[in-house]
Amino acid sequence: MRAIPPFCLFVLLAMLGACGDSEPPSGEPTASTLSLDSLPLTPGETYLITGGGDTLRLAILAPEDGRQRLVRVQRGETADSAAVVIDAATKVPLESFRLAVGVDGDTVSARIEYDRGFEGQARLTLTVRQGTGVENLRTPPPFLDAAQLPLTLAALPFGRLDSLHFNYVAPFEKRALAAFLLVGALDTLRIAGASVAAWPVHLQVSGLEERYWFPDQPPHAIVRLEEITRGRTWTRAEPPTP
């Protein structure tokens, strides 16, 4: 396994002020009325693991001055980390930073500063081995930053079938992609030999398809993440031993 270099993780946080398998949901969703501002995001950490031993740490930091930081750190053959600052009430992204480390050790990073570009557009700073470039990024509302998923979804008003069309801001693709979220019916998963009642949330964006499972009871800390396109499943685990 390749861990994220400590320096890279430090940069990631510093740039933002530190911080049971089921079929796709059935039934017809209601109109696109999903709201992410109905519930606050509860601070805390969640760890998920794949069958191959890759790990994913998801962290929600306590709100400060109306802003809240979300962090995700993935460790495995490759590494992909992200941190995003959102408006704590509306869940609208304010800025984000993402760092990817390939199997060859090459890194690519992207920073998005919303409303800081030309005529109120987002400003994207992309850094690769060849250098750094800055450009404007259109983010038509409603939009969510890729770095805030799936953490922000813990604020969904679970309880009925519903859906949302939105723009998924993908920094490495340098654009906002049309995306769709569908909240399915309450189902039961088997995790570590126990039955867990959970709500599935299905994401479709471009060629990417994922499903997230949130427990029935708040604070709705994610218990399973299915990367359908990549054929990989992450399941909640206890924090790793230091």
Q: Where are the domains of the chain?
A: 6-19+22-237
Distance from C-alpha of 42 to C-alpha of 31, rounded to nearest angstrom: 27
pTM for the whole structure: 0.83
Determine the longest span between alpha carbons in the chain, in angstroms: 54
Contact assessment for residue 71 and residue 62, using Cβ atoms and an 8 Å cutoff: no
| Paired strand residues for 143 | 167
- pLDDT tens, per residue, the chain with 242 residues: 334 444 444 444 444 554 433 333 334 434 445 688 878 999 999 999 998 889 999 999 999 999 999 999 998 877 889 999 999 999 999 999 999 887 677 889 999 999 999 888 999 999 988 899 999 999 999 999 999 999 999 999 888 888 889 999 999 999 999 999 999 999 999 888 888 999 999 999 988 999 999 999 888 999 999 999 989 999 998 644 43
